[in-house]
Amino acid sequence: MRDWLILLIAVLVGFFLLGYDQRTDDTGVEVGLIVALSLALAFAAPRRWFAIGLGVALPIAAGSAINGHIDVAGVVLVIAMVGAGVGWMMRRGTLLAAR
């Protein structure tokens, strides 16, 4: 149940960041938010890291693709997946260290 709640939060974060993307021109802050939020959510639910990365990135990627920026859509997907992957690795490391 907790994993599904975190996936829902990931999609909501993605839509929040889509709104942020449309209203700002500060790319560095947005990239930091994408990485930090996908990392934190993947740390909370490491088994669903791939879905979390997609949940955070797909709303932004779809909005960019609709506006004709296919390259931006690809970059956003990569950034979110890297953040989620790092969150998964961090959680895995803490679980292995606890053994």
The pLDDT of 1-11, averaged and rounded, is 93
Residue 24 pLDDT class (50, 70, 90 cuts): confident
Higher-scoring residue by pLDDT: 51, 24: 51
Note whether 14 and 57 are within 8 A (CB). yes
Q: What is the pLDDT of residues 38-76, one digit of tens each?
A: 999 999 999 999 999 999 999 999 999 999 999 999 999
Note whether 51 and 9 are within 8 A (CB). no
